[in-house]
């Protein structure tokens, strides 16, 4: 099957080629993201393979369908960038990678948390200038602290297990509680408890209309002063402007982000020789207690390999007329 792969980076090409040995599809790679300006590149392809910041709204899907595309294959778990209702009305199928390596994202969240707490980023820059002063690098022990996990799915549970290993008390919030979370040793929080007692808050829920800005100005105002906040899920979960205000008034003790509300205009490209016009990002990175990485939490060999294998297997299922294991329906 002819597959147009959008937002294709070198690692995408390498791992998709490796996975395709077993599947035998024709993969055409495009560095650009899928949107209204680039959708014409997919003409004549039965499937498109897209990533987190590609646009598959109604307008794009209509043009894809007119060009012969009948399958949208997301090489990620989240699907907030796809208009599922429009896809269904056009008779298009949508598949995703339901699970790849929850360890990769959870471990990156912990890495960010350790770095922002112990000021690793600041220490690294200092020692490169042979400045070995310890002033301003004080952190706190994780042991005995309360960690709130917002979203207790597979990734949230792996993160919880790691934090329990540090000796933390782990409390959770999820619209759909699971006994697996409690079996690990976590417990679900009582109303208001996260804001009152959490020293650390980590976001692991999908972006939906219900979770958009789940952490807003009100939530931050209720947070324990000095709490650390980590987001490795989707940028829209956090009201970034409100987080900046909370950093400025020291309500937030630190912020670690692998995702960002407006990341589509920034992430997955080298902008080091340009003037970045995003004032919100400029303000974020100016804080000494903020760490931003460019949506790399998924980026491990194990995770990318599984993502590519699962995605191409879904294409094969579709081409063969089989039931789609990882189909998303409106």
pLDDT in tens, 219-247: 999 999 999 999 999 999 999 999 999 99
Q: Residue length, the chain?
A: 330
Measured distance CA(53)–CA(51) in Å, rounded:
6
Active-site position among 45, 157, 204, 234 = 234
Say yes or no to pLDDT of 213 above 90: yes
- For the stretch 134-149, pLDDT in tens is 999 999 999 999 999 9
CATH of the domain at 19: 3.40.50.720
Residues 283 and 309 in one domain: no
Residues 205 and 121 in one domain: yes
Measured distance CA(218)–CA(221) in Å, rounded:
5
Q: What is the pLDDT of residue 99?
A: 86
Mean model confidence pLDDT for the chain:
97
Residues 73 and 190 in one domain: no
Residues 236 and 267 in one domain: yes
Say yes or no to pLDDT of 156 above 90: yes
Residues 59 and 128 in one domain: no
Nearest of 298, 327, 328, 299 to residue 313 by alpha carbon: 327
Say yes or no to pLDDT of 115 above 90: yes
73 neighbors 314 (Cβ within 8 angstroms): yes
Phi, psi of 174 (to 5 degrees): -160, 140
Residue showing tokens 């549970």: 157
Q: Can 263 be counted among the known catalytic residues?
A: yes
Residues 208 and 304 in one domain: no
Residues 182 and 286 in one domain: yes
317: containing domain: 2-100+300-328
The model's pTM is 0.90
Residues 213 and 96 in one domain: no
Q: Facing residues of 4 across strands?
A: 28, 48
What domain count does the chain have?
Answer: 2
Q: Can 295 be counted among the known catalytic residues?
A: yes
10 neighbors 18 (Cβ within 8 angstroms): no
- What's the sign of the alpha-carbon dihedral 248, 249, 255, 258? negative
Percent of the chain whose pLDDT exceeds 90: 97
Q: What is the pLDDT of residue 100?
A: 87
Residues 126 and 83 in one domain: no
Active-site position among 23, 295, 313, 317 = 295
Say yes or no to pLDDT of 101 above 90: no
Active-site position among 108, 263, 313, 317 = 263
- For the stretch 69-99, pLDDT in tens is 999 999 998 899 999 999 999 999 999 999 8
Residues 148 and 81 in one domain: no
Residues 51 and 19 in one domain: yes
For the segment 119-138, the average pLDDT, to the nearest whole number, is 97
Say yes or no to pLDDT of 176 above 90: yes
Q: Is 173 helix (H, G, I), strand (E, B) or coil?
A: strand
Residues 82 and 173 in one domain: no
List Cβ neighbours of 136 (8 Å cut-off, separation of 6 or more): 119, 122, 288
């Amino acid at each position: 099957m002819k597959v147009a792969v959008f937002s294709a980076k070198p690692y995408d090409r390498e791992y998709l080629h490796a996975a395709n040995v077993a599947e035998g599809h024709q993969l055409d790679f495009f560095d650009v993201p899928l949107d209204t300006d680039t959708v014409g590149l997919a003409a004549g392809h039965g499937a498109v393979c897209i990533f987190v910041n590609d646009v598959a709204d109604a307008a794009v899907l209509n043009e894809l369908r007119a060009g012969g595309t009948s399958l949208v294959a997301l090489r990620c778990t989240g699907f907030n960038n796809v208009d599922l209702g429009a896809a269904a009305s056009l008779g298009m199928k949508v598949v995703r990678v339901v699970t790849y390596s929850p360890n990769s994202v959870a471990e990156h969240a912990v890495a960010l948390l350790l770095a922002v707490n112990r000021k690793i980023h600041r220490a690294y820059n200092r020692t490169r200038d042979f400045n070995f002063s310890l002033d301003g690098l004080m952190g706190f022990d994780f042991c005995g602290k309360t960690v709130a996990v917002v979203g207790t799915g597979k990734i949230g549970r792996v993160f919880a297990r790691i934090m329990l290993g540090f000796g933390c008390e782990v409390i959770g919030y999820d619209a759909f509680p699971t006994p697996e979370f409690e079996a690990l040793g976590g417990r679900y929080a009582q109303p208001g408890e996260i804001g009152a007692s959490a020293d650390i808050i980590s976001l692991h829920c999908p972006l939906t209309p219900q979770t958009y800005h789940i952490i807003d100005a009100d939530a931050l105002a209720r947070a324990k002063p000095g709490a650390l906040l980590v987001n490795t899920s989707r940028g829209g979960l956090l009201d970034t402007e409100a987080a900046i205000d909370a950093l400025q008034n020291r309500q937030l003790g630190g912020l670690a982000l692998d995702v960002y509300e407006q990341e589509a205009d920034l992430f997955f490209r080298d902008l080091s020789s340009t003037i970045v016009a995003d004032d919100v990002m400029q303000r974020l990175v100016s804080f000494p207690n903020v760490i931003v990485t460019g949506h790399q939490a998924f980026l491990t060999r194990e995770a990318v390999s599984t993502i590519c294998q699962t995605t191409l297997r879904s294409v094969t299922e579709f081409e063969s007329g089989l039931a789609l294991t990882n189909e998303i329906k409106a």
